[in-house]
Structure 1
Amino acid sequence: MFAHGWSSSLHKGKTPSAPPAPPGPPAPASASKHHGGGIMNALHGALTRSKTAPAKGQRGLVGLQNLGNTCFMNSAIQCMSNTKELQEYFLSGVYHNELNRDNPLGMRGQVAEAFGQLIERLWHGSGSSVAPREFKQALARFAPQFSGYGQQDSQELLAFLLDGTHEDLNRIKVKPATEAPDWEGGGDKELVELAKTCWEQYRSRNDSVIVDLFQGQYRSTVVCPDCDKVSIKFDPFMYVTTNLPVTKKWTGRVFVIPLDPARGVLCVDVEVPKSGTIKTLKQVIGQVIDVDPKCLVLSEEWKCKFYKDWTDDENIIDVNTNNDRIIVYEVAAPYAQPRNRLHRAAPPAYDPAAPVFLPLLNVKDGSASSTSKYGIRSSGDDFGSPFILSLSADEATSSAAIHRAVARQYSRVTKRGDELVQRVEEYLAELEAGESAGEQADDDADASTSTSPAAPAPAAAAAPAHQVEAPAAVAEARPLVGMGHVLVAHWDEDAYERFFGGDASQWSATQEVVQPELAERRAQGRGGAKKVITLADCLGEFTKEERLGEDDMWYCGACKEHKQATKKVELWKVPDVLVFALKRFSSSRYSRDKIDDLVDFPIDGLDLTEWVEGDKVEHRLADEMGDAAPSVTAPDSLTYDLYAVSNHFGGLGGGHYTAFAKNHENGRWYDFDDSRVSEIQPDR
């Protein structure tokens, strides 16, 4: 968020200001007008500060002493202090008459009072810096997270300060009960009326200088994917928190064994967001190779055996494909996954018609070594990669079907796959013939009334080159194998050499597949320039439609059940002072990573006409209805000028906060670095 990137405060262009100081030396020819990159360069390295000392006697150039990792607080305070209207409000002393000490949601007026006193010291003080001890003490009394001297998040401090100051200065002493109206359909006129009603209800309970300056209104639209029911809500906001259209990526190579043996073994290169899970990876793989991601099982192989099963809720950043071999198996039906590793779901009830999934291990006989795995003791050496065998309920009752399924699996990893399948078929045919002959001999013996000895049974058919260890059948037509069993295929030396020796083996991938998005990014990396991120890109990211996740579903009143609906949040009404908080980190359950990409933004003349939906609707209604059209807001201007930036230098393990702010009295920019204040050039 704000703490790991920057936050900017902007004034509408209509806000009057003092005449600017005489222009300094001309900017370099390479500098472009309205380019914010100079200030933002501070996010990536030390900024060369201006040698110009602050003008003697200029107000507002007082620093804040660092009380011990309080640079995050100093940065936020300096941005607030240089908000012209807010500074004038506190210096006028009006806030003393508006303190609401009885508001149960406030801090008995103490936070606003301490902040007002600090503003007076910053603008009327005579020293070069002040120690904000009284303000920090007042803050700690009501926000324990800021009570110590550890580094904190500057955006969290700003959010608390705005909200706390609002409640301490709320002019509404007794808040009326309200009930938010529901969207009942209609056109632009009904939409404007709903937004106006929601805003008036909010203002009937919230009225302060913070609301006057900083609060705007969102429009949130949720659509049911099944019945297309639309729900529209209007909510207030104090700052716009946007993601950067940059996602840290996890890139890896996995080996996929499709259900169809004819597809061989696929080597798939993919990338997913670092904040993703194993489920995210499966979804990407499913899209790339055109399979159902619910039918994928992800395992880690080590020394020719299954080492770890990865479940859907585990984090993708814990997977290291550089050192580990990750195999993804396609099975014949959706593979149940626990959604929470701490609270495993109960095993599903036994279903005799359900398919059976079995681990299949490979052993080369002839070695003196002896191992025990899964309760099965075997002599030999493990080789190749294990498989997961998919059997239908009928196949699980037939020894011949199991042998055929095993043969099909091995046919994908040997160049003599057709020969292997044919040999197994010949063996099964011989075995069936032998069993038929034995049954006929038994029938003849039963039919004979002679006392002569029975005819000898035929010799047993020779065993195939591979033998499968599996639990014996308990009863006819009962499954021979089931979930929890393991198959071990033994290969004698001659069979191993025939099918897997020399160049006959193809355990490695038979086809390489690269995710199209990854291939495109690799191509751009070889010759293309890195795309510059603009503030408009961030707003586009903020307002784009998204589908709710399985853990955040929306209840549809028409369908009477929770749905993974689509949601879109847009700016409807914007305040005079607009605060942007850019989320400069990607996070997951176990880690966070800072995004250090440069964001380009104008210092003057940021036009939000394209992004404010209420203004668009108002203009449409004005064209249709003329003077009878309802008003969304008093649209003085949707053009903003930058006046303050809060920066964070360093990474997530540590860093330092500073603030850049424009002094509204002389029009110059300054770097507020705790107790040090120095002038800077905005175009640098």
Structure 2
Amino acid sequence: MSSKASSKEKKSGLGKKLFRRGSVRSVGSFMSRVLKTLSTLSHFGSELQPPEGEKDDGGFAAFKNEGKGSVASDDSDCGGFLSRDKVPGVAGLKNHGNTCFMNAILQCLSNTELFAEYLALEQFRGQTEEEDKPKANGVPRKEKGEVTEQLAGLVRALWTFEYTPQQSREFKSAVAKRAMQYRGNAQHDAQEFLLWLLDRVHEDLNNMGHNRPSIKPPIEEDDGALEGPSPPLSAGSFVQELFQAQYRSSLTCPHCQKQSNTFDPFLCISLPIPLPHTRPLYVTVVYQGKYSHCMRIGVAVPLNSTVSRLREAVSRETKIPPDQFVLTEMYYDGFHRSFCDDDDDLDIIQESDSIFAFETPETFKLESLRSKRGSLLANLNQNNLKFGNDSSRTPSFMQGAVNPASPNKNAGADKMILLICNRACIGHQGRRFGLPFVLYMERTVTWDVLQKAILEKMHHLLRQGVYIQVGPFSLRVVGVVGITYLLPQEEFPLCHPTVERAYKSCGAGGPPHVKIVVEWDKETKDYLFGHTEEEYIPDAESVYLHREQHHQPQACTLAQCFQLYTKEEQLAPDDAWRCPHCKQLQQGRIKLSLWTLPDVLILHLKRFRQEGDRRVKMQNMVHFPLVGMDMAPHMVKRSQSSWSLPSHWSPWRRPYGLGRNPDDYLYDLYAVCNHHGNMHGGHYTAYCKNSIDGQWYCFDDSEVQPMADEDVCQQTAYILFYQRRATIPSWSANSSVAGSTSSSLCEHWVNRLPGSKPPSLASGASSRRTSLASLAESMEFPGDRSEDDGEKRVYGAYYSAWFSILCLVYYVHILYFLYLSQCFFVILGACGT
């Protein structure tokens, strides 16, 4: 019994010794120590030290993200720049003296995902030994690519929180070396700088030897297609591959209907903004009557029309026949231009011009003068002034006065229309007073009769208690060269050669007339008429109506701008084109259309236009889509033999066929360059959508603020940056496929920048958040760390990841072995009992 008992105790003791839990805990403790050691090794040398020396940030504190602008905490396992409390790429730029145009363009390009990655990761660099070799002209390659080098460093600094004002100052200096117009602190157009910068980077890349083969679209043999191969779409650099495409210009012969096509590349499409079909003009109408009265009216005239259209508009508004009023220009000093030729271009009249329309009587003879006229006129004496106190009685010289507007149908050849205005003069200077009026006089009228008719029209302006029998004034004829004053000694002043020349100078539009200024001495004028100035002219309701309709900028859509851009137009007779088929000069129909589309589509809104002799800015609101802009309606209708662009630069850029996939025509907005102000002074800002957090930001030089999506479309939009939806990388927060998930953000190109921890190869898996997965993301061998050689760092990261995976596999095998051993001894113990 004792032996059996002892044997059982031995077996029992053996079993207790084999299956006690302490052994498993010891194994776990051992593996914990192993993982701890691996974790220590993984972080050894992985953190790069910041550059020595004090950083001059110039007061550019990095923007602290709040709410939507902050990176989710789940992405902290990505390491590097994404693990901080700031968003990469959200940093302002110092204004170095009117460089807001430059700062706005730099922010837009910095948020162009593929372009920023290409620059920040320095994918443009060739072999280092080739860069320092001098070219045939003795200029080193590195100096030739200085603008691109500075641009790449500036973009990289914006995404790594290392920007200092010195970097943007050096970039401006590099630009000024290559383009003298950007020296100094003058203001410049942002679109012109954008095109210059892209062209400069393209040349720099070509100098570095980064050329790509050219590609030609296929030849179509139908009448409406190509006559021959189009010029090659150069893919000589990454700039052209990313931003450049082609448009087609088609000329169609109206006789033979043959079409001639030419192809040209573009980096930016300049879209015209639709103008209103009419514009307002404001005209002061001088109506006929015993005492003239005036009213200012507003009319709408077609653009690019003639004076006859203005005459028709005034006639419709006033009910005056179009051949019964004179159009002229008047200001404070008297008459200026007359618009007598109805075929003149209406562009000679601006909205701000002071235009008058004088209603004239029908061109009939006046009634026979009253019998008393001769005796009354004989009593007039130019040097005789008579004053009295009875204001109620009518002046004696006006008894039996002639009504010059009374027509007579017997004859009309000896009548003349006179446009009269009064002017108070001091020396050669003078100012108009009172309302202008119209006289219809016989050509054989005497000086006294003419003087009496003028005074009759001015009777209502006389001061109370003042009577005048003669007019102490001078008459000056407007619109002639040489002698312009009519003398009292002339028996028939309207038959003077000066009047005859002025009368014959009238054009065919409106009735012929003569403009006369009645000039008064200032002291005499003040005594007779008091301090009467130019009388108040009321505005008709049409003035307020047209101001409200035309002074508010007309809103339009981006699609309407494209429709105007691709609208077919007929050539003018002076621009007639010789058709190569029928060999005759023809006024062909020309049409622009898009042949291919780039990955990044830049649209320039033409807000500045020439208006007469000055340039003005159009403040129209252009509504543009933020997502899903469809470019298919603006493309050339092509056959299915579409051609594809190559993809040499990034693994996510797939070849695409134009016309095969509808998504190839969809574009999403990611940046806007805004212009605030007018032609005399303005300011540029940028709205950009960050590819990490998907938030829109307003970049105003050094100031950066988050903004809502609905605030992006503004009246100040000047340049729009769109990216083809099919080419948006999956790691981008702007991608509609992946979104800003933890796995996609860890694949962002920022994680491949120097100083950033490389992401895990198994991103998105549950093991990613274990300590061993973190080891795989951050492991780097000290011997592989180099500031100048990025390839060693990448290879070291790959080796670290594989080493971590092997450790994980080894750890799993040990656990599995312990589990099998435990099961075996449990079964063995059960059998023994």
Mapped pair 1:618 → 2:639: yes
- Which one-letter code corresponds to 1:198 in the other structure? S
Structure 2 CA distance for partners of 1:644 and 1:406, relative to 1, 3 Å: farther
d(CA) in 1 for partners of 2:252 and 2:165? 53
Query: Which of 122, 127, 132 is the equivalent residue of 2:168?
Result: 132
SS class of match (1:212): helix
SS class of match (1:642): strand
d(CA) in 2 for partners of 1:566 and 1:287? 31
Aligned residues of 1:62 and 1:128 also touching (Cα < 8 A): no
Match of 2:117 in 1: 88
Mapped pair 1:542 → 2:565: yes
- Which one-letter code corresponds to 2:577 in the other structure? Y
Mapped pair 1:582 → 2:605: yes
Q: What are the residue-to-residue correspondences of 1:277-296 with 2, within 5 Å?
A: 280-282=305-307, 284-285=309-310
d(CA) in 1 for partners of 2:345 and 2:553? 33
Match of 1:245 in 2: 274
Aligned residues of 1:51 and 1:679 also touching (Cα < 8 A): no
Note the C-alpha offset of 1:84: 0.9
d(CA) in 2 for partners of 1:164 and 1:300? 52
Match of 1:607 in 2: 630
Q: What are the residue-to-residue correspondences of 1:636-655 with 2, within 5 Å?
A: 637-655=664-682
Aligned residues of 2:282 and 2:543 also touching (Cα < 8 A): no
Note the C-alpha offset of 1:672: 1.8
Deviations 1:631-668 (A, max 9, x none): 76775611111111111233333332221112223322
Mapped pair 1:569 → 2:592: yes
Deviations 1:543-567 (A, max 9, x none): 22334568x8353346988776543
Mapped pair 1:145 → 2:181: yes
d(CA) in 2 for partners of 1:572 and 1:327? 56
d(CA) in 2 for partners of 1:467 and 1:416? 14
Note the C-alpha offset of 1:91: 2.1
Higher relative contact order (CA 8 A, sep 6+): 1
Structure 2 CA distance for partners of 1:302 and 1:563, relative to 1, 3 Å: farther
d(CA) in 2 for partners of 1:129 and 1:53? 24
Match of 2:103 in 1: 74
Mapped pair 1:165 → 2:196: no
TM-score by length of 2: 0.45
Match of 2:695 in 1: 668
Deviations 1:379-438 (A, max 9, x none): xxxx999xxxxxxxxxxxxxxxxx85555979xxx9999x999xxxxxxxxxxxxxxxxx
Query: Which of 662, 678, 682 is the equivalent residue of 2:705?
Result: 678
SS class of match (1:169): helix
- Which one-letter code corresponds to 1:617 in the other structure? R
TM-score by length of 1: 0.53
Match of 1:187 in 2: 223
Deviations 1:298-347 (A, max 9, x none): 743579985225796896465644x4426799xxxxxxxxxxxxxxxxxx
SS class of match (2:620): coil
Note the C-alpha offset of 1:218: 1.2
Mapped pair 1:595 → 2:622: no
Structure 2 CA distance for partners of 1:66 and 1:53, relative to 1, 3 Å: farther
Query: Which of 575, 578, 595 is the equivalent residue of 1:553?
Result: 575
Deviations 1:69-118 (A, max 9, x none): 111110101101111111111123222329899799x9933322322222
Aligned residues of 2:284 and 2:355 also touching (Cα < 8 A): no
d(CA) in 2 for partners of 1:165 and 1:297? 61
SS class of match (2:633): coil
Structure 2 CA distance for partners of 1:128 and 1:682, relative to 1, 3 Å: farther
- Which one-letter code corresponds to 2:230 in the other structure? C
d(CA) in 1 for partners of 2:136 and 2:258? 39
Aligned residues of 2:116 and 2:155 also touching (Cα < 8 A): yes
d(CA) in 2 for partners of 1:239 and 1:81? 17
Aligned residues of 2:283 and 2:298 also touching (Cα < 8 A): yes
Note the C-alpha offset of 1:467: 8.7
d(CA) in 1 for partners of 2:264 and 2:254? 23
Note the C-alpha offset of 1:157: 1.1
d(CA) in 2 for partners of 1:172 and 1:128? 27
Deviations 1:502-545 (A, max 9, x none): xxxxxxxxxxx99xxx999859959xx99752221221222223
Q: What are the residue-to-residue correspondences of 1:5-24 with 2, within 5 Å?
A: none
Structure 2 CA distance for partners of 1:162 and 1:51, relative to 1, 3 Å: same
Structure 2 CA distance for partners of 1:305 and 1:130, relative to 1, 3 Å: closer
Aligned residues of 2:252 and 2:589 also touching (Cα < 8 A): yes
Greater Cα offset, 207-216 or 298-307: 298-307
- Which one-letter code corresponds to 2:671 in the other structure? A
Structure 2 CA distance for partners of 1:547 and 1:137, relative to 1, 3 Å: farther
d(CA) in 2 for partners of 1:157 and 1:97? 27
- Which one-letter code corresponds to 1:82 in the other structure? N
Greater Cα offset, 560-569 or 597-606: 560-569
Match of 1:346 in 2: none
Note the C-alpha offset of 1:612: 1.6
- Which one-letter code corresponds to 2:695 in the other structure? R
d(CA) in 1 for partners of 2:403 and 2:675? 51
- Which one-letter code corresponds to 2:93 in the other structure? L
Q: What are the residue-to-residue correspondences of 1:479-494 with 2, within 5 Å?
A: none
Note the C-alpha offset of 1:65: 1.0
Aligned residues of 2:270 and 2:604 also touching (Cα < 8 A): yes
- Which one-letter code corresponds to 1:166 in the other structure? H
When the two chains are superposed, the root-mean-square deviation of aligned CA atoms in Å is 6.0
For this pair of structures, how many residues does the alignment match?
A: 463
Match of 2:243 in 1: 214
- Which one-letter code corresponds to 2:639 in the other structure? E
Note the C-alpha offset of 1:126: 2.8
Note the C-alpha offset of 1:215: 1.0
d(CA) in 2 for partners of 1:245 and 1:368? 61
Greater Cα offset, 91-100 or 646-655: 91-100
Structure 2 CA distance for partners of 1:60 and 1:384, relative to 1, 3 Å: farther
Structure 2 CA distance for partners of 1:606 and 1:214, relative to 1, 3 Å: same
- Which one-letter code corresponds to 2:578 in the other structure? C
d(CA) in 2 for partners of 1:605 and 1:319? 40
SS class of match (1:63): coil
Note the C-alpha offset of 1:175: 11
Note the C-alpha offset of 1:142: 2.3
SS class of match (2:118): helix
- Which one-letter code corresponds to 2:575 in the other structure? M
**Unaligned regions of 5+ residues in structure 2, if any?**
1-64, 72-84, 287-294, 316-321, 361-376, 384-401, 405-410, 419-436, 444-490, 517-539, 644-656, 712-833
Structure 2 CA distance for partners of 1:108 and 1:553, relative to 1, 3 Å: farther
d(CA) in 1 for partners of 2:236 and 2:358? 60
Match of 1:64 in 2: 93
